[in-house]
A and B are shown apart, each in its own frame.
Chain A
Amino acid sequence: MLTFFSDTDCDITPKECAAYNIKLISMPYTVGEQVIYPYIDFKEFDSHKFYDMLRAGTMPTTSAMSEEAYIQHFEPEFAAGNDIIYVHFSSATSNTFNIMHQALEKLKQKYPERKFYEVDTLGITALSYNVVLECADLYKAGKTAEEIVEWAKVEVPKFPMYFFADDLKFFRRSGRVSGLAATMGGFIGIRPIIYLDNDGKMVSIGKETGRAKAIARLVKYVEELGEDVKAHRVVIGHSDALDIAAEAERQLKEKFGEDLIVIIVPVNPTIGSHCGPNAIGICFHAKHR
């Protein structure tokens, strides 16, 4: 048997996991002294409440999981004789995967027969969500782990995500975006446009003045880079900015037709701690990232 794992940084919810038979790893974030595990410490993610807290000045932090935590997730599967495929968020944005591999080394000695397959979505939030669903479709269709990994090798680089945020202090603090000008653009309505490159790293590739132009630029990327856009999902992630996400959806459907599959997801709090409120990103199927 093959067990499919994903994590909360991919925006996938327990309900969706149940439908696809996915086991969910909860990625923690910390508010003040309190470490919070999504969907363990709360049932439903109240996105509005969380991002309002950030707007009011709270700056949550995130941290890597322990080796022990990974062992607790994976060992029962190996012990039961199952192999594992784990489709996860970009390893370039966190060192949690180094710790995971240490845990796997230990498990390998104990369960030398068992196999661990890994799909790095080279993304976060909407991008990862899109790739997880694609992989889950294959899994559900009975594809083998090798087949899913092969698909990912070709297809993951074809799922770009372009995004922007209102308040740059979160990105600047996280230090995870390269090429970000050290300006105070947030105060004057200037937004850097950021994308995830082929290594799963966040890179700033330009800027737009005003929200309207920034949305238009994201939509333009879908038009110009898109490939078989309608044969795949278009996922819009937003951090409590549903009106912006809805406007992007409206423009996309205007360009591609009403039958375009658009899914709007709230950005999970762990990733949201790094992008702050009022960020939106669009992930779609493209010629390249």
Chain B
Amino acid sequence: MPHLLDVDHVVRKFGGLTAVNDVSLHLDKHELVALIGPNGAGKTTLFNLLTGMVQVTSGKINLQVDDKNYDLTHKSAVQIADLGLSRTFQNIRLFKDLTVMDNVLTAMTNEYKENFLTTVFRLPSFYKTEKEMRAAAQKLLAIFDLTENEQTLAKNLPYGTQRRLEVVRALATHPQILFLDEPAAGMNPEETADLTNLIKYIQKEFQITVLLIEHDMSLVMNLAERIYVLDQGEILATGSPEEIKANPKVIEAYLGEGDD
């Protein structure tokens, strides 16, 4: 049985440095998987490989949707986004000078077709499409409690809210797989708890697969059905949260002993 996403012996070298070394992993439909590991382990590079921002040196990436196979190996970021893989960024990359609403609408660019003439001469179909887009965006913003901030510029939002908006924007592309790069970074425990519930909710509600990078172990152990541990570019271990917690190799490389 093929997986939704199959990453097969992927290698990425930057000059003499091997950032990702022979990594194989897979994601199934509606799974919530976490990717953990110490700083510099290659987690973000792996995300960049999966979303086409960086090309693999060798190996294969394969997507299987509705019995159709897509080879993602040498596809561009735009093509991969169109196939339903969406992401957030570790160092928040919102469109800072656009409003919250426009940030979300931007993610719907490819979904709604607007013809040049109907747009520039404001024919009725322009207003119809625009209305549909706005309604869809408002629905998403309401779920994430951002309705009040609709007209706020993204750069003026508090940090935690910016992270939330990035998730909304990623969801607006209607992804099959959502990659979250440290969604809880810089959040206080209360915000983290809210975020945990929210991720659980969107995974169920939107029926999507989520792969997340996170350092906050309470969040990871709470959410993830499966965990991959990456260390020095290689997969060190994989398994359920309980198995990972008990794995001596993981404890040594990342989690640390309880008493030090």
Binding partners A and B = no
